[in-house]
């Protein structure tokens, strides 16, 4: 599909999501000049065709790629075996794209600014984000064509870095005086199908924070808030591979109980969608018994993994819905204590627990532990087909 046909480009947003018809063409660097690519780190960088990883991934797969501190591993779901891919410089960023991924590449930065990719041939250092771009990074949203990765700059000045996964070159998209931004840094979470737009949410490691979904035009730096999301706090949600549908759960505002952190919600609860052809937000389901939290979406967009939690209860159940909110048959074997984080082909579910810290795989009605740690949570980086 061409970018012209993707709903989530600037024109599509105006027509279907009700954004202002006038979108300022904002500059992307200080002084309102066009953004210029920055040279990658002077450290010699291997090309993507050559791997610095100890070994290739020759199993049947799919592979679950994860990190324990600075060490990266790949777990073969078919055989139950684990391959060490080597160590990275620093600690991998923990936040992932809200899209399911293609299964062809896993790419991620470290908090310190080196960028890495994993393919079947192994792990490669793509390059380093120049020190002038910032000194703290988070997020790893890979474009639909697997050629670029969008990364949020947290400090000292909020910005977005786009790294070419072929050449390792970085382009810094800085905030413009004419753009629409929250006080917090923005975390890249998805791309439009044509690659013209990057979707971002305010990133604040706190109970409160700014609401809204923001779209950044990767070509000219225009940043706007998506209409219908201005009063909606988005953090746990799913975006279709096409970039044309976003699914999330919401509750009704209520008075907070003593000791609760704002904002507080209660019944009725809603499963909602922002989608192509719809003006604003569409409610797919409504319930009074338990909240809806959209955890993952399938690669083809036909299944959603949604966790339900009753107020005052610690027991969480996982339900499966179609893209129009219809109930689908459950996936067997997902324990109540496991939080789904990815839905792979053939109903393979990747999940996590916090007591103890684990990453698990559920398939065919049974659960297997991929990794378990005691001194910090392992980081799920993505999957390879």
* Ramachandran area for residue 186 (φ above 0: left; ψ -120 to 50: alpha; else beta): beta
Report pLDDT for 55: 65
Residue 254 pLDDT class (50, 70, 90 cuts): confident
Domain 3-384 has CATH 3.40.50.360: no
Q: What is the pTM of this model?
A: 0.84
The structure tokens listed for 318 are: 């996982």
Residue 203 is given by DSSP the state -
Condensed to tens digits (0 to 9), the pLDDT of residues 307-339 reads: 999 877 778 999 999 999 999 999 999 998 999
Contact 39, 130 (CB under 8 A): yes
* Average confidence (pLDDT) over 344-368: 95
Give the containing element (helix H, strand E) for 16.
Answer: helix 10-16
Return the higher-pLDDT residue of 47 and 58. 58
CB atoms within 10 A of CB 33: 10
Residue 92 is given by DSSP the state B
Residue 230 pLDDT class (50, 70, 90 cuts): confident
Residues contacting 280, CB < 8 A, separation 6+: 17, 18, 227, 228, 274
Say yes or no to pLDDT of 41 above 80. no
Dihedral of CA 181/175/172/28: which sign?
Answer: positive
Q: What residue ranges do the domains of the chain occupy?
A: 3-384
């Amino acid at each position: 599909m061409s970018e012209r046909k993707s709903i989530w480009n600037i024109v599509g947003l105006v027509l279907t999501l009700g954004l202002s018809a006038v979108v300022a063409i904002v500059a992307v660097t200080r002084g309102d000049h066009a953004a210029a690519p920055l040279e990658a780190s002077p450290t010699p960088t291997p090309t993507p065709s050559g791997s610095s990883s100890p070994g290739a991934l020759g199993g049947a797969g799919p592979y679950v790629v994860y990190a324990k501190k600075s060490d990266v591993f790949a777990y073969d779901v078919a055989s139950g075996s684990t391959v060490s891919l080597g160590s990275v410089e620093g600690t991998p960023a923990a936040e992932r794209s809200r899209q399911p991924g293609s299964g062809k590449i896993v790419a991620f930065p470290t908090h310190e600014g080196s960028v890495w990719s994993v393919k079947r041939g192994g792990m490669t250092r793509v390059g380093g984000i120049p020190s002038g771009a910032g000194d703290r990074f988070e997020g790893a949203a890979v474009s639909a064509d697997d050629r670029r990765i969008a990364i949020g700059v947290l400090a000292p000045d909020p910005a977005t870095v786009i790294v070419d996964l072929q050449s390792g070159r970085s382009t810094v998209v800085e905030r413009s005086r004419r753009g629409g931004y929250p006080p917090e840094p923005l975390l890249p979470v998805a791309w439009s199908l044509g690659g013209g737009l990057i979707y971002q949410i305010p990133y604040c490691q706190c109970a409160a924070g700014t609401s809204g979904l923001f779209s950044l035009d990767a070509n000219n730096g225009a940043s706007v808030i998506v209409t219908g999301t201005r009063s909606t706090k988005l953090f746990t949600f799913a975006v279709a591979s096409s970039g044309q549908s976003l699914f999330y759960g919401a509750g009704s505002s209520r008075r907070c109980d003593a000791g609760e952190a704002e904002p507080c919600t209660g019944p009725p609860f809603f499963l909602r969608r922002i989608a192509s052809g719809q003006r604003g937000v569409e409610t797919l389901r409504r319930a009074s018994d338990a909240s809806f939290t959209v955890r993952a979406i399938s690669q083809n967009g036909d299944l959603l993994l949604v966790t339900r939690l009753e107020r005052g209860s610690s027991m969480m159940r996982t339900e499966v819905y179609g893209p129009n909110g219809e109930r689908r048959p459950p996936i067997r074997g997902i324990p109540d204590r496991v939080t789904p984080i990815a839905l792979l082909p053939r109903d393979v579910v990747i999940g996590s627990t916090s007591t103890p810290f684990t990453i698990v795989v559920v398939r065919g009605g049974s659960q297997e532990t991929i990794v378990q740690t005691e001194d910090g949570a392992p980081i799920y980086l993505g999957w390879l087909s």
